[in-house]
């Protein structure tokens, strides 16, 4: 009797815990069918901080239509892909994720994303958008918006562009007499993404692509075309057109301050220019090497987790709702990004977005292979050495980089 309290307490704790185990089987209550036209269920959707506000009304419309609740979870844009890969296997991941398409290869490689069938609706999207959400021949998501960089002009400094090549553009820009001619943001590790239009104009895309626009893993950035581009980079570095000290923020600020008539940038910066009261136009990037300058096209897509507990509801949202014109129109109204659905894109009458769209018409989707991060790193480091003048022989540095990247891909 003396030890009655501790033993009782321990026994009680054990009983409670065991009772909890037996009752907590975790099964959701069956949906009742009595005259309910809507389904019960909750989808968890991960959205990054830049898109959550435009998603809210769109998923609210979906809930009104089907009765399926959608719980939006805000994730930091840098972590969303990483966390998705880490959490899906544990069963704690979301049902649906909204993200840029360049992490897709990694997800497929880890088996965390489910293929889906857009059916006939696939033809209603722009080819670049579909190419972005396609990996190894299978479609994995619904594209919702596309974005790419283009040449943005300060109309006050140069009202009419007559240049047809990049060299002419630099010469024309210098006539404005400002500190900078054509701003292309760099940084300590250069910026292959913003230099890519110039690189492709030399005919040196990062990978060869097949007829349907999807990439093979054969590198195409070497060879004579690549050497010519490397030499051109060194020239731009010597002429101080490119400067490693000008990173994204500084380039944006310099353009805002009217220190340059031109900047190569994306739609994420133009709103700031307009808010500052600037008159700007968006043009395609002129060719530097004779071939068309193709920027990378980034596709924002909505993907379904491979281990979603609600595959039917998730597909109802991703395929049957978000791929519709109504939803894409609403996303454009809320977020102001170029819709991936052709019919919605045609309704966009904003000259700035149209300019970006024309500049990206020839663009190529950003590669989504898992080895791409190693590619970015060596690519940027080499470009930084060429632009900064540390690389004595640009062509040799470029070829060494091609070897490194090939290694990275073989390793992956």
Residues 132 to 171 in contact with another protein, rule: CB under 8 A: 136-138
Integer-rounded Cα radius of gyration of the chain: 25
The Cα angle at residue 144 between residues 143 and 150, in degrees rounded to 5: 95
Contacting range for another protein; rule: CB under 8 A; set: 69-77, 276-284, 302-310, 343-351: 302-310
Cβ–Cβ < 8 Å for 293, 309: no
Interface with another protein (CB under 8 A), residue from 71, 73, 111, 123: 111
- Our finding on whether 13 is near another protein (CB under 8 A) is yes
- Least separation in angstroms between residue 369's CB and another protein is 9
CA distance 356 to 350: 10
Please identify, among the stretches 34-42, 123-131, 191-199, 217-225, the one whose residues bind another protein according to the rule CB under 8 A. Answer: 34-42
By CB under 8 A, what part of segment 353-372 binds another protein?
Answer: 370-372
Whether 244 contacts 187, CB under 8 Å? yes
* Minimal distance, residue 371 CB to another protein, in Å: 6
Residue 36 touching another protein (CB under 8 A): yes
| Residue 63 in the binding site for another protein (CB under 8 A) | no
Q: CB of 217 within 8 A of CB of 409?
A: yes
Instruction: List, in sequence order, every residue forming a beta bridge with 283; answer none if it has no partner.
Output: 151
Of these, 214, 310, 328, 357, which contacts another protein (CB under 8 A)?
A: 310
Distances (CA, A) of 67 to 30, 74, 264: 15, 22, 45
Residue 144 contacts residue 328 (beta carbons within 8 Å): yes
Q: CB-wise, 29 or 277, nearer to another protein? A: 29
- Of 87 and 342, nearer to another protein (C-beta) is 87
Minimum Å gap between C-beta 187 and another protein is 10
64 is an interface residue for another protein by CB under 8 A: no
Site string for another protein, 223-262 (x = CB under 8 A): --------------------xxxx---x------------
Of 13 and 290, CB closest to another protein: 13
Q: Which is nearer to another protein, 4 or 162 (CB)?
A: 4
* CA separation for the pair 253, 396 (Å, rounded): 35
Q: How many helices (H) and strands (E) does the chain have?
A: 16, 14
In the set 71, 117, 175, 358, which binds another protein (CB under 8 A)?
117
285 binds another protein (CB under 8 A): no
Distances 48 to 84, 99, 123, 150, 397 between C-alpha atoms, Å:
12, 7, 28, 24, 37
Stretch near another protein under the rule CB under 8 A, chosen from 84-92, 123-131, 150-158, 173-181: 84-92
- Backbone angle region of 113, left / alpha / beta, with phi > 0 → left and psi within -120 to 50 → alpha: beta
Query: Of residues 371-390, which lie at the interface with another protein (CB under 8 A)?
Result: 371-375, 377-378, 380-382, 384-385, 388
Q: Is 408 in the site for another protein (CB under 8 A)?
A: yes
Contacting residue, 6, 177, 277, 392, with another protein by CB under 8 A: 6
Q: Which is nearer to another protein, 244 or 285 (CB)?
A: 244
Closest Cα partner for 228 from 187, 173, 288, 172? 288
What is the size of the binding site for another protein (CB under 8 A)?
A: 95
Query: 404: closest CA among 372, 374, 366?
Result: 374
Residue of 57, 89, 127, 159 interacting with another protein (CB under 8 A): 89
Closest listed residue to residue 363, CA positions, set 290, 293, 300, 301: 293
Footprint of another protein on 173-202 (CB under 8 A): 188-189
Cβ neighbors of 33 (< 8 A, separation 6 or more) are: none
148 in Cβ contact with 356 (< 8 Å): yes
Q: How far apart are CA 2 and CA 7, in angstroms?
A: 10
CB of 77 to another protein, least distance (A): 15
């Amino acid at each position: 009797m003396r030890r009655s309290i501790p033993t009782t307490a321990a026994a009680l704790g054990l009983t409670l815990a065991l009772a909890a185990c037996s009752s907590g089987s975790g099964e959701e209550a069956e949906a009742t069918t009595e005259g309910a036209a809507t389904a019960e269920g909750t989808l968890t959707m991960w959205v990054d901080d830049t898109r959550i506000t435009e998603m809210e009304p769109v998923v609210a419309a979906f809930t009104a239509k089907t009765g399926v609740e959608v719980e939006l979870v805000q994730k930091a844009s840098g972590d969303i892909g990483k966390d998705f890969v880490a959490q899906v296997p544990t069963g704690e991941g979301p049902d649906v994720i909204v993200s840029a398409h360049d992490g897709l290869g990694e997800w497929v490689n880890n088996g965390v994303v489910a293929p889906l069938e857009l059916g006939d609706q696939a033809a209603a999207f722009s080819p670049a958008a579909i190419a972005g959400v396609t990996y190894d021949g299978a479609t994995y998501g619904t594209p919702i918006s596309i974005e790419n960089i283009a040449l943005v002009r300060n109309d006050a400094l140069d009202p009419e562009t007559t240049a047809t090549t990049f060299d002419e553009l630099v010469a024309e820009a210098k006539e404005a007499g400002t500190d900078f001619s054509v701003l292309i943001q760099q940084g300590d590790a250069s910026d292959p993404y913003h230099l890519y239009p110039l690189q492709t104009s030399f005919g040196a895309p990062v990978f060869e692509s097949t007829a349907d626009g999807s990439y093979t893993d054969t590198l195409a950035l070497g060879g004579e075309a690549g050497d010519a581009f490397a030499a051109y980079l060194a020239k731009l570095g010597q002429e101080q057109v490119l400067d490693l000290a000008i990173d994204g923020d500084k380039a944006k600020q310099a353009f805002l301050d009217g220190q340059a008539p031109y900047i190569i940038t994306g739609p994420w910066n133009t709103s700031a220019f307009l808010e500052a009261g600037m008159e700007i136009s968006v043009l395609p990037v002129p060719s530097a090497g004779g071939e068309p300058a193709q920027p990378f096209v980034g596709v924002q897509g909505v993907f379904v987790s491979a281990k979603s507990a609600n595959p039917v509801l998730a597909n109802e949202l991703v395929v049957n709702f978000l791929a519709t014109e109504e939803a894409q129109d609403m996303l454009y109204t809320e977020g102001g990004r170029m819709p991936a659905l052709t019919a919605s894109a045609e309704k966009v009458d904003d000259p700035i977005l149209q300019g970006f769209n024309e500049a990206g018409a020839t663009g190529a989707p950003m590669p989504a292979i898992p080895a791409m991060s190693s590619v970015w790193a060596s690519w940027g480091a080499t470009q930084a050495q060429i632009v900064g003048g540390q690389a004595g022989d640009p062509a040799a540095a470029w070829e060494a980089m091609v070897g490194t990247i090939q290694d990275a891909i073989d390793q992956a």
